[in-house]
Structure formats: structure tokens, C-alpha cells
A = this chain, B = another copy of it.
Amino acid sequence: MSESYKEEIRDLTLFANMDEANYRALMRGAYVQNFPPRIDLIHENEPPDFLHVVLSGSVDLFSAWNGRETSMATVRPVSTFILAASVRNLPYLMSARTLEKSRIALIPSQDVRAVFSEDSAFAQAIVAELAQCYRAVVKNTKDLKLRTSLERLANYLLRQQDRTGSLEFDLTMEKRRLASFLGMTPENLSRAFKGLEPYGVKVAQNHIVITDLEDLTRYAKPNPLIDDYSA
């Protein structure tokens, strides 16, 4: 791996405070790779050979059962995926594919496990990352079980509004994938967008305009314990 990559990765929260020698050891077997869009990176049930770190682009985590498939999460820079599988050395629970052109660092899981048992700062960072991931999935479960699909879409749009800081934004993924992520069919997502029109949501292709933020918020009833992905 090139030195410039090594420095870029070094700055990630996960590695920032760890011992230099341990970091070097971790990077020895690691490499960075560029992937085109829609490339399968890993498949569920495989052994966790590498910890993946998304440096740029975005990655879709999804899962299948009995001929059905669902999108579980989108991983954006800069964060890891399949950390839990890596540290426990257990098979992946989800598959991953790039959504767009993406740069991804691959670090041998074996090295992650070896170093994390030696390096206290690294172990702490892993704990923080895992706890964060855990809380994100719990929030997602609450979203799924406590809300209707229309409410889920409304709150999703509010989160995007908050993330971009603008009342106008483009959807960051295909609608079909968004539908799957929100736990509904593409057909119903179309209807759901229509259903939010009365609350001040305008949709044209991938472009969303929120014309009445207050009204939408009143309908969506966002809650930090479900929608605040930073805590």
C-alpha cells in the first residue's frame, strides 16, 4: 500500500490513537482498491477475511433469504463494515456491493484481531465503532416496528434534509433500493411519495423539494432515539 493511503487511513477515528508500530503491522497486509459501481464485494456466510473501510463512494449492505432480498444499510465514508464479523471471526451476516465508484481499504481480519488484543487504543476505538453500529441497527429496528411505511419515508426525507442542510436535495440511491431499505416495494414507494404531497413534499425524478418543513415534521414526528444517526 502506498504511503499516502497509509496516512489517509491513519487519520480515521478507528486508527488515530493506536501505537505506530501496531499501525504499521496492521497496514502490512492491507491494501486499497478502487471498485466500479455495482460490484459485489462480499457475500453473506463467507468467512470474514478482511475488514473493509470505505474511503470514498458508498456501499450497500444487503441480505437475502428464500428468494427475497432486502437492503439493510448504506455505508458512507469514512466507516468500516463487517467489523463485528471480523473481530468475532464469524461468517458475514450481510452481503455488500458498491453503489457507486468506491475506494475501499481491505485489512486482513486476522491482523485486526491480533493487533486489537495488543493495542488498548485500538480496542477502545473498536468498542466505540461497534457500539455506534449496534445503536444504528437498534434505531432501524424501531423505525421498522413502530412506524408505517409512509412515516418511515417521511422521516427518511427529514434525515436527508438534515444531512444536506437544504430543503432541496437529490436522492442518494435508486428508488428501488430506497424502497427495499425502507421495507417496502418500489410500487408502494411511488404511492408513498404521492401520499406525502399534502405534507409539502415535491418529487421530480430523483430531486426532492420540501415545501413545508413544519407540516412534514408534524406528520413525521422525528425522534432522536430513532432518527439521529450520530448518537
Structural contact, A223 and B65, CB atoms closer than 8 A: yes
Known contacts A120-B120, A141-B140, A142-B72: A135-B93 contact under CB 8 Å: yes
Q: Report whether over half of chain A's contact residues are helix, strand or loop; otherwise say mixed.
A: helix
Question: At the interface, yes or no: A147 with Cβ under 8 Å from chain B?
Answer: yes
In the complex, A173 has a CB within 8 A of chain B: no
Nearest chain-B residue to A44 (Cβ)?
B225
A227 to chain B, nearest CB (A): 10
A residues 114-129 near B (Cβ < 8 Å) are 116-118, 120, 123-124, 126-128
* Cα(A45)–Cα(B142), bound, Å: 14
Which one of A29-37, A82-90, A97-105, A185-193 is at the B interface?
A: A82-90
Are A146 and B66 in contact (CB-based, < 8 A)? Answer: yes
A70 interface residue (CB < 8 Å to B): yes
The reply on A134 being an interface residue by CB < 8 A is: yes
Q: How far is the CA of A88 from the CA of B136 in the complex (A)?
A: 13
The residue of chain B having its C-beta at the shortest distance from the C-beta of A71 within the complex is B145
Give Cα distance in the complex from A138 to B140, angstroms. Answer: 10
CB neighbours of A137 from chain B (8 A)? 134, 137-138, 141
Nearest CB to that of A123 among chain B residues? B123
Residues from chain B with Cβ under 8 Å of A139 in the complex = 93
Can you spell out 24 A-B residue pairs with CB atoms less than 8 angstroms apart? A45-B225, A63-B142, A63-B146, A65-B147, A70-B142, A70-B146, A72-B141, A72-B145, A85-B131, A87-B127, A87-B128, A88-B135, A91-B231, A93-B142, A116-B124, A116-B127, A117-B120, A123-B123, A126-B127, A127-B127, A127-B130, A133-B134, A140-B141, A141-B141
